[in-house]
A and B are shown apart, each in its own frame.
Chain A
Amino acid sequence: MKIIFRIIILLILTPLIAFSQSKLITGTINDESGLPLPGATIQVKDSNNLGAITNFNGLFTLEVPSDAKQTLIISYIGYMSEEVDVSKKLIFSINLQLDNDQLEEVVVIGYGTALKKDISGSISSVLVNDKVATQSNSVDQLLQGRASGVQVIQNGASPGSGISVKIRGTNSLRGNNEPLYVIDGIIISSAGEDVLPTGIGNTGQETQNGLNGINPRDIESIQVLKDASATAIYGSRGANGVVLITTKKGTSGKPKINTFHTNSVRTVYRKINVLDAFGYANYVNEIDQITGLNPRYTFTEEGIFVGREGTPTLTDQYNWQDEIYGDGFSQKFGVSASGGGENGNYYISAGFDNQRGVVTNSTFKSSDIRINLNQDLNENLKLKARISGFINNSNFAEGGDLDGGANRSFVRNVIAYRPVISHDLDDINSEDDYTTNPFSWQKDFSDISKETRFIGSVALTYKLPLRGLTYQIKYGGNIRTKDRRRFYGFSTYQGLNANGALQIMTKNAKTHQFNNIIRFNRRFKRKHRVNAMLGVTYDVRSIENSIYAVEDFLTMQLTTNQPAFGNVITRPLTFVRADQQIFSILGRVNYTFDNKYILTATVRRDGVSKFSKDNRFGVFPSLALAWNAGNEDFIKNLDVFKSLKIRAGWGQIGNHGIGPYGTLSNYGVLNNLYGNSSGGTNVPIALRNLANPDLTWETTEQVNFGLDFAILEDIISGNIDVYNKTTKDLLQNSDIPPSSGFTRILVNKGSITNNGIELALNFNPISTDDIELSFGGNISFNKTEIANLDSQPLQGFYENGVMTDRRFYYGNTISRGAIFRYPANVFVEGEESSLFYGFKTNGIYQTNDTDFINGAVPGDVRIVDQLTEDSNGDGTLDSGDGVIDEKDRTFLGNPNPDFVYGFNFNLKYKRWNLSALFNGVYGNDIANGMSLQLDNAEGRPNANISPAAYNNAWRPDNSSNTHPRIGYTTRGQIAITDRIIEDGSYLKLNNLTIGYDIPVSEKNFIDNLNVYIAGQNLFTWTNYSGYDPEVSTFLYTGLINGVDWNGGVNARNILLGLNIKF
């Protein structure tokens, strides 16, 4: 039937075809200055087939049928298209005008792109150059110090360890303050995500980086969306800011091949001072003397002997930090190929990375591949495909211990393990030795992770018949699988305790999104420009974690490889699912009038599965106005500004970074089983959580005013932003009274405000062929205040002994061990967030003192008994109540920095180039948990201490007012003291790179050969006494802030790199 129909149509049309005529048009196409434009395209309007291309002299000839439209469209990239009526012409010549819009810088924004000059929100662009990219191991490293308002906390020593990125202060007090990561339009959002923790005993499991697999070398650009106008398009997930990552694409022309190779060495440059072997032995002997025992150690010319009774044994002596921390050598290499033709382009890359940490068995090996393709399927249909794959294998990330007791952590053991070792120690006191020899950590402990990750997307963009209107359908996602296994062998404390212990955790995360977007991007009558979009997205996350732990091994030879040798399953194989769906409708209009006045309005309606039906849907609007004052004549006439833009924006955005199922009661299987009378086990079931059906997202309302400027032809450029953010309904996993039968509940509680100013300045004073000089910096002031805790009751709160009724709550308890087992932070309405709260001290009790409190003795730390009594009735509080208790707690410090800053310097001279990047924070305090034991001579004969704590210890015959007596301990203390509060300000030389372009002959097949040497994390200027003031112990816990608890060692990385372009 169809064939007959087609024949009939053909017969009807045949006469028309036979009688049609055509005419030959000839023309010359020139550029704006009248020079010929070779390669310009000429097409008959509304015709798909007919067209011509100008030759080298800008000439063309084209046959136009008489029945076709007598209009030609002349187009050339970078120029504005022109339409020419040829109904009465056979020859013509025109000059095309430059299309400034196309030459303008285009930036990626949420679900689209926009001209930079049309942007009305606060966006920081991070340029990614190849040298920096090849040095970086993860995307978040690229952000440090390079964007105002962005604070990055990372640990320089530990390959693969977690990194935290905070945009514009603390947005939320729940666990995860990380921004949303979007790669080529696909939301990844996995920072801070790791396998679930399955510690043994009081150990905690360090979180590893959740952004592995996003290769910095493949990144073309990064945009950090900061204010509500920019992020509201991400609705209920935009409040922490959004990091948009665009990967590279090929360009037309011959294939370009880039290869690189780097070799680097990572070294520890800061060690903590502890007693050497002789000092330590003297310390222990003094403990023995105090407790009335014979000295444990004796000294001869042969060395140090141990043994109180019988024949003493010769010992070995170690400086553990020197023994354990060595040089970690790493190599990376990779290759990329890119190119393209008329209808498409490609970018393909592959790389291999072999990193070693500062501990010998700390390794991180990975390899990755990426294929980016763009193809015009026909003139109206374009295909974009992005796919990347990543596999990685790491061992023993040498990190701290998240929340475990002090003696169980690797970091703590390397610092404080006794430096005198006997292999034949026969002493009953060693039963207190709940520690692990650092060698055992190296030889008998494994923390192996294997991870694979695939990120991909396919987009089809169809150009609709209305000019400027396109429709895009995009499907993409992320598949991440991780297998992490930790094995404690017999010589570790944990392994001895359990006779070998293995924990196996897996994560199987799949996310996929389906985006449908209609875009309209068009200029009307030269003065009106509209860039609008309307979209529908469906975002599905499907995550399944598993946990399994087994102990009591028949043999420990197979370590992580064979759980079947374990006798006792301490954690039956358990699956923990965390699925989430979000359905959204979103739209944005960006309208520019006369290149001067810009309006951007966005709205997004999200439906989120993790909330109950009544709270599931929310609308997140934003509005921004901008004035490109630089385009006003009166500004132009000043001849100072190249550009000047003033911005103002408002919006509401959301945040729901909590797990799913918080509104449902979870009756699940418990971690441990229960026995039965037959000697077997029963599976116990219990309510695992306290559901909160009222949960909803946090809402952040933000106002932003900004100014962008470039003066003196871009010699000086910069921007200033001032903002105010208020986040209400803060989501928190809050500590609740234990008498409720539960310890925590997810709640929306309180609101916080962030007020801040960001300033970025860049100078480009010299830019010639031989010399280029640029430098710049950014500084961000942010103040976070607890605005409202109205869901909390008014309670008695003590500050300097004075009780007032205030709304407040405490942060989370730090450790599960005997030391630091209390919260360090308090959240008080009207104060800055997470202030340190505890006891003030005033030196050391001396022998002749008469005011001993709480059974203190001479040599104890004098904790200030706050003045609470008016002893003489004069109306002034003049004495304490004689007891040190919770009422004596007061504010001790502030972990929030006054400002964070970064600055850079770039110099290029002929073939040489030099760049330096510094970053720092100022004005924050750190609670140094390590000093609780290091700086108190506790008198525990198996833990080393600092020389100051021993040498300056208070003694009856040698009083000290700085360090307490030997035997003084903070165990049993109920709060921190100001003795552990330190200034956490620092400045780091984050990166220093010197490069040289080796001359290559033009005939050589090599286009460019660059060699460079770089130093990462080279120097830290700080007064902080711990390893690293960039405190990274509790990266993803909003209720613990600024606490260093077994934080990892700080290391610098020196790197030699070679980039070759073919």
Chain B
Amino acid sequence: MKNYKIILLTFIGLTFFNCDLEENPIFLDAKGTYSNLEIARGALDGIYQSMSVYGAQEQRIFAVNGFSGLFVTRKNGNSSNNVNNINLFSLKPTYDRDSDAMWRTLYVAIGRANGAIANINTTESPTDKSDLGFNDIKGQAHLIRAWLYLSLVRLWGDIPLRLELPDNENLSKPKSLAKDVYAQIIADAQTAAILINGATGPGYPKQYAANMLLAKVYMTLATSPDLQTDGISESQYWQLAYDQAIMVYGQYSLVSDYSSLFTDKFENSTESIFELQMSQDAANSQMGRNYTPYKYKLGQHFGWLCVHADVLLDHMSAYPNDPRIEGTYLYQYNRVDNGNLINIYPALQNRNQFGRANPYLFKFVEKDTQHSNQYGSQNLIIYRYADLLIMLAEISNELQNGEQLGYVTEVLDRVGMSNAAYLGDQSSFRDAIMREYRYELLGEGEDSNNNRRRGFDYFLTNTINKHNNNPIFSPKVDLLLSTDSAQVMQLPIPLSEINTNEFIDN
């Protein structure tokens, strides 16, 4: 009977004994992440990491270049009729996986930036190391968010503007007007310019990156009446752009060897304003694999980006013997496995074969021919000083402040080219400087916007028709670019967004 009672007592005891039901996961929470400076820096790297992953780097570069009207691709088939060439690269964008991935990944980065902005406290006049550090991190989060939204709004126009972390009851967001998105970009960049102080150290952007971004925004607004705020004239926007750009002037300097910018040997140079840090050990860049041509290096190689042959011919014609040609294009090389010479147009005059009719873009090619891994280490430069100088030249030409020739001459001096093309009137200077972006910065991510920034007619005349009507155009190996104004200016919202966002139907 005694046992009986013991058992019953045990049983009843167990009934009321509250066994442990708490969760003890092996990860951090928001407070633990953002209250410690070192961990917060890890969270900052988390934001940059999302900008360096496949969707934000390889696929973004692929999509923005494909939509620039200057490129052709061998991805998805070695043919001018592959799915990319007949759609995105012919400026007839439809739902495509690369722009879809870019959309998704850039919004992931926005989410991470939103997290940092929401959780980090800043100090108005920071003095100690910790306060400076937190201010710098939050400032960079604002800068990154501004850059991300600028990248999105330029391609898609009206987009969801999300400034806070979603929760389970707040998952869908309607599109905001592009004008409102630009206003937010300006606000973020201005905050970034105040908060960034360099405390995080080398390899991260300084506040001048925010000034440069603001200058780019004002330049876009200057030529986009639909986006302008009432009461601000075009010339005022150019002036605003100048005010921001000039703050950057002199803070950086051009490197002497143009081609060195596109190697992993001279990274974070004096010319670099905003650069993503790639490392084979971090396994965060497959640019070298994707954009290196067949048998140029030992490891796998896809050779996904080629430049329209007429773009190269135009460059050669404008600046014969320009060292930038060697740094930008690849049309002749020896196979790494057997040493055989491979010629591509114009080294190979015959343009019968699609695969050899257009030169490769060389900037992202893995330069080490013995490289065997799929991951590379070459950093990706988002903004560099040569771009700023060309911007200043363009802005100054619009303002006619007399400074324009000086800036562009700095750029041309590095490569030993003459500034003769810039000695004409404002209009011819304008056309020349718009081409200069292309010669200097081809494929680096700004072409798509630079080509469209001055409106559809300018895009049609200076890019689309120029290509479609070029003398060597061959329908078998070249893409006939769309001339439909309703089609060529923006990308369609990705289907993955339409399928899931209750407020967006197209």
Contacts and interface: CB of A to CB of B under 8 A. Distances in A.
Given A570-B375, A679-B279, A818-B83, A694 B77 contact: no
B42 A676 contact: no
A742 B3 CA distance: 58
A666 interface: yes
A739 B160 CA distance: 7
Contact of A739 (B92, B107, B355): B107
A187 to B, nearest CB: 15
A742 to B, nearest CB: 7
B29 A737 contact: no
Nearest to B267: A677
Interface in B458-506: 476, 494-502, 504-505
Contacts of B107: 738-741
A501 to B, nearest CB: 9
B476 to A, nearest CB: 6
A677 B25 contact: no
B226 interface: no
A583 B494 contact: no
Contacts of A1045: none
A972 B77 CA distance: 12
Nearest to A745: B168
Contacts of A984: none
Most A CB atoms within 10 A — which of B14, B19, B115, B299? B19
B353 A471 contact: no
Contact of B18 (A292, A496, A583, A740): A583
Nearest to B108: A741
B452 interface: no
Interface residues of B, number: 117
A830 interface: no
Interface string B143-181: 000000000000000011010011110011100000000
Contacts of A464: 4, 7
B203 interface: yes
Interface stretch (B48-56, B311-319, B409-417, B424-432): B48-56
B226 to A, nearest CB: 22
Contact of B496 (A499, A551, A571, A738): A738
B103 A686 contact: no
B280 to A, nearest CB: 6
A431 B83 contact: no
Interface in B66-111: 74, 76-79, 81-83, 86-87, 92, 94-97, 103-104, 107-111
A792 B50 CA distance: 30
Chain B interface secondary structure, helix, strand, loop or mixed? loop
Contacts of A616: 21
Contact of A684 (B8, B48, B203): B48
A534 to B, nearest CB: 8
Interface stretch (B188-196, B300-308, B322-330, B439-447): B300-308
Given A431-B78, A686-B46, A741-B114, A499 B284 contact: no
B49 to A, nearest CB: 4
A552 B372 contact: yes
B78 A743 contact: no
Contact of A742 (B22, B23, B108, B498): B108
Contact of A675 (B11, B76, B96, B277): B277
B396 interface: no
Interface string B10-29: 11001100111111111111
A666 B27 contact: yes
B281 interface: yes
B166 A742 contact: yes
Contact of A674 (B29, B52, B342, B496): B52
A675 B377 contact: yes
A432 B74 contact: yes
A809 B500 contact: yes
B213 interface: no
B495 A974 contact: yes
Contacts of B497: 737-739
B94 A667 contact: no
Contacts of A971: 76-77, 82-83
Most A CB atoms within 10 A — which of B20, B162, B268, B282? B282
A502 to B, nearest CB: 13
B14 A667 contact: no
A686 B284 contact: no
Interface stretch (A26-34, A64-72, A606-614, A998-1006): A606-614
Interface in B346-377: 352-356, 372-375, 377
B247 interface: no
B43 interface: yes
Given A464-B4, A672-B49, A793-B502, A738 B494 contact: yes
Contacts of B82: 971
A569 interface: yes
Contacts of B377: 675, 679
Interface bracket on A: 35 or more
Given A675-B282, A818-B76, A667 B28 contact: yes
Contacts of B78: 428-429, 431-432
Most B CB atoms within 10 A — which of A551, A668, A686, A694? A686
Contacts of B10: 516
B500 A795 contact: no
Contacts of B3: 462
B7 A673 contact: no
Nearest to B356: A428
B379 A675 contact: yes
A886 B23 CA distance: 43
Interface in A214-246: none
Contact of A575 (B26, B283, B289): B26
Given A738-B496, A747-B168, A855-B86, A685 B279 contact: no
A972 B99 CA distance: 12
A666 B25 contact: yes
A552 B373 contact: yes
Contacts of A462: 3, 7
B33 interface: yes
B289 A497 contact: yes
A972 B502 contact: no
A573 interface: no
Nearest to B203: A677
A741 B496 CA distance: 13
Contact of B111 (A571, A575, A740, A886): A740
B310 to A, nearest CB: 21
B336 interface: no
Given A431-B74, A583-B19, A673-B279, A667 B47 contact: no
A735 B496 CA distance: 9
A300 interface: no
A810 B495 CA distance: 11
Interface stretch (A154-162, A353-361, A657-665): A657-665
Nearest to A746: B168
A114 interface: no
A22 interface: no
B257 interface: no
B92 A822 contact: no
B162 A685 contact: no
Given A551-B374, A677-B268, A795-B502, A429 B166 contact: no
Interface in A945-961: none
Contacts of B495: 822, 886, 974
B83 A568 contact: no
A971 B96 CA distance: 9
17 contacts: A291-B354, A431-B294, A516-B11, A552-B375, A575-B26, A672-B53, A672-B282, A674-B284, A675-B278, A684-B43, A686-B47, A686-B115, A747-B168, A795-B505, A813-B496, A886-B495, A969-B77
Given A428-B294, A570-B283, A664-B29, 17 more contacts: A428-B342, A429-B355, A496-B300, A538-B19, A568-B283, A609-B22, A667-B27, A682-B45, A684-B46, A686-B112, A691-B168, A693-B168, A738-B500, A739-B497, A741-B108, A741-B165, A855-B86
Instruction: Give the top 4 A-B pairs by smallest Cβ distance, nearest first.
Output: A741-B111, A677-B203, A675-B279, A686-B46
